[in-house]
């Protein structure tokens, strides 16, 4: 079945450093979504990418969808302590609301 792999599992950075998490799917995706989960909280939607090669930005966050629509990345510039949490990618393949999540990358930021 479809698998979505995400690396790294953990990332510890000093405040102000950049951060990137990568997501790879075993199959071509129709769309990819990114979520953030704060410690003790629930996942919260950040963004959806649908087009091959698409790049979207949200302030310090940059999201990319690969040309083959099988990989994606999230880059945070100049991390802040408010960026702490676990970031998940989730791949969709046009099967209604069915999403397959990656394992997540837990980001910790040292002030």
Partner 1 sequence: NAGVTQTPKFQVLKTGQSMTLQCAQDMNHEYMSWYRQDPGMGLRLIHYSVGAGITDQGEVPNGYNVSRSTTEDFPLRLLSAAPSQTSVYFCASSQPGQGSYEQYFGPGTRLTVT
**Binding interface with partner 1 (CB under 8 A):** 1, 6, 9, 31, 33, 35, 41-45, 48, 50, 88, 90, 92, 96-104
Q: With respect to partner 1, which residue has the nearer C-beta, 64 or 105?
A: 105
Q: With respect to partner 1, which residue has the nearer C-beta, 70 or 101?
A: 101
In angstroms, give the least distance from the CB of 96 to partner 1.
4
In angstroms, give the least distance from the CB of 21 to partner 1.
12
Q: With respect to partner 1, which residue has the nearer C-beta, 44 or 68?
A: 44
14-19 long-range contacts, Cβ below 8 Å, gap at least 24? 14/109, 14/110, 15/79, 15/80, 15/81, 15/109, 15/110, 15/111, 16/78, 16/79, 17/78, 17/79, 18/75, 18/76, 18/77, 18/78, 18/79, 19/75, 19/76, 19/79, 19/83, 19/107
Nearest-angstrom CA–CA distance, 55 and 64: 5
In angstroms, give the least distance from the CB of 64 to partner 1.
19
Q: With respect to partner 1, which residue has the nearer C-beta, 44 or 55?
A: 44
In angstroms, give the least distance from the CB of 76 to partner 1.
19
């Amino acid at each position: 079945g479809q698998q979505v792999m995400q690396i790294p599992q953990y990332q510890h950075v000093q405040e102000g450093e950049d951060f990137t998490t990568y997501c790879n799917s075993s199959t071509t995706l129709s769309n990819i979504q990114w979520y953030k989960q704060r410690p003790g909280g629930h996942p919260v939607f950040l963004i959806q990418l649908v087009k091959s090669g698409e790049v979207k930005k949200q302030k310090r966050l940059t999201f990319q969808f690969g040309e083959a629509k099988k990989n994606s990345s999230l880059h945070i510039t100049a991390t802040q302590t408010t960026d702490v949490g676990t970031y998940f990618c989730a791949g969709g393949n046009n099967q209604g609301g069915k999403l397959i999540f990656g394992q997540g990358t837990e980001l910790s930021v040292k002030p």
